[in-house]
Copies of this chain bind each other. A is one copy, B any other.
Amino acid sequence: MSALDALTTPALLVDAAALDHNLDAMSAALPGARLRPHVKAHKSTQLAKRQAARGHLGFTCATLREMEGLAAAGLGADLLLANEVLDARRLGVLEARVTLAVDSHETIEAAVAGGVREVLIDVNVGLPRCGCAPAEAGPLAALARRRGLEVRGVMGYEGHAMGIVDRAQREALVEESMRLLRTAHADVGGEVISAGGTGSYDCNASASEIQAGSYALLDTAYAGLGLPFRPALSLLATVVSLSATYAVADCGLKALGMDHGNPRIDGARVLFCSDEHVTFAPDGAAFGVGDRIRVWPAHVDPTVAYHEKMHVVADDAVIETWAVDLRGW
């Protein structure tokens, strides 16, 4: 254990109690294989081990590096790369059970050429990203089987529904998406219907497994949905400059994913972020040069990806430091 004060800022902090709460709450709702945690949100094998210890032995990945890192950490019991690749050779050599998403004849051929043995047919359920049209799923599954691949089932990510604040609207869009996925699954077969995320973990009854990842650390975007998870990820920053009307801390846009907008600071209004600074207007609270403050990121995933490590804290002490060892590609 070491004191929080000893950390160089900006530093990524994980609140141990909030993390444990989130992991426990999700495991209670989706025990064991009902959850396939997505590691893209935290990129840490140490955090993945906490998820595995709660009985979630299969993981979802977005990159080859995440697959390799989990396999090397002994977490390769059932790894899904929920993403298309055109060169799968790094997957074929992994000492792990590997399943790869495919959505075209090119990605099926890449799986074969790379030595991958198991695939899911990735179906577009409404988000304009990867995935074949639902009607193409059956023919692609047949092609994959002809090419010697084991087709475990389908996946389809209803990402366009994930951030909708109104619960009824969110549920309706999840159901509309899953109707498409069920149709595709009827044509494809297999045991797996992999879908969902933190925003639909409790209203997606169609999926055999949910790919949630953000629930572990949360962010200000997901915190607005009224889910039973707590913000666990913040940045420790130091106030480095002060004027009559604003203060400046050393946590800028190279320490924060900015696609969801500015971070939040308790007791202050964030004005803007520069490369290494956040300028904010104290909102009642008094700030002094040298003060340590907490900055709450709007989007966890691209925030974590900027950092080498995260410090697990309890009672203003660092109890563990985890490498963010799944970064890069």
Chain A residues within CB distance 8 Å of chain B: 8-11, 40, 62-64, 83-87, 103-104, 106-107, 124, 128-131, 133, 159, 238, 240-243, 246, 248, 250, 253-255, 257-259, 271-277, 279, 289-290, 301-302, 305-308, 328-329
Task: State A289–B84 Cα separation when bound (angstroms).
Answer: 10
A308: chain B residues within 8 A (beta carbon)? 328
Contacts known (A243-B124, A253-B257, A289-B86); A274 close to B305, Cβ less than 8 A: no
Q: Is the CB of B130 within 8 A of A241?
A: yes
Q: Is the CB of B8 within 8 A of A329?
A: yes
Q: What residue of chain B has the Cβ atom nearest to residue A254's Cβ?
A: B305
Q: Is the CB of A63 within 8 A of B276?
A: yes
Q: What residue of chain B has the Cβ atom nearest to residue A290's Cβ?
A: B86
Copy tally for this chain in the complex stands at 2
Task: State A133–B107 Cα separation when bound (angstroms).
Answer: 60
Task: State A328–B254 Cα separation when bound (angstroms).
Answer: 9
Task: State A273–B159 Cα separation when bound (angstroms).
Answer: 12
What's the least CB distance linking A11 to chain B, in Å?
8
Contacts known (A258-B302, A290-B86); A62 close to B130, Cβ less than 8 A: no
What are 29 inter-chain pairs, A to B, with CB distance below 8 A?
A8-B87, A8-B329, A9-B329, A11-B329, A40-B275, A40-B276, A62-B275, A62-B276, A84-B240, A84-B250, A85-B240, A85-B250, A86-B240, A86-B290, A107-B241, A128-B279, A129-B241, A129-B248, A129-B277, A130-B248, A253-B257, A254-B302, A254-B305, A255-B329, A257-B258, A258-B302, A275-B301, A275-B302, A305-B306
